Amino acid sequence: MPGVAQPNVVDVVGHDASGRYLMIMVEARAWGAEAAQASQLKEKINAYAGFIMDGSLARQYPETAGQPVDIQLDCCEAPRGEFATILKHAAMQLQRLGIGLRVNVTAMHPAR
């Protein structure tokens, strides 16, 4: 799976139990594992937001057209420090665009 390290690749598109569509990005590395990780996270969030806003998501997945969409970060541990700050800021900016941002801490083991 591509993950946060490849910002221009959509990792997963799906929906939750409520029917809300999700663009899921995956971070299998521990937070702070690489120097470029913070900038990669920002780039991935921006790429996903652009994909939603420019209509690319609806063109590739027509069932998402006109539907609410969240960006979801699946990660192996809760974001902390600068990563938590990045996500908090991104959530505020995305909310203005009508896009949700959620973090899902999974049971996967971090790649170090």
Q: What is the CATH number of the domain that holds 51?
A: 3.30.750
- Centre a 10 Å sphere on the Cβ of residue 102 and count the other Cβ atoms it contains: 15
Q: Is residue 32 part of a domain?
A: yes
Q: Is residue 61 part of a domain?
A: yes
pLDDT given at position 110: 53
Confidence of residue 107 (pLDDT cuts 50, 70, 90): confident
> Which comes out higher in pLDDT, residue 92 or 111?
92
Q: Is residue 87 part of a domain?
A: yes
Instruction: Give residues with Cβ within 8 angstroms of 69, minimum separation 6.
Output: 20, 21, 22, 23, 52, 57, 99, 100
Beta bridge partners of 101: 71
pLDDT tens column, 19-78: 899 999 999 999 999 999 999 999 999 999 999 999 999 999 999 999 999 999 999 999
Q: How many domains does the chain have?
A: 1
pLDDT at 111 exceeding the cut of 60? no
Structural domain containing residue 20: 12-105
Q: Is residue 34 part of a domain?
A: yes
pLDDT given at position 19: 86
Q: Is residue 112 part of a domain?
A: no
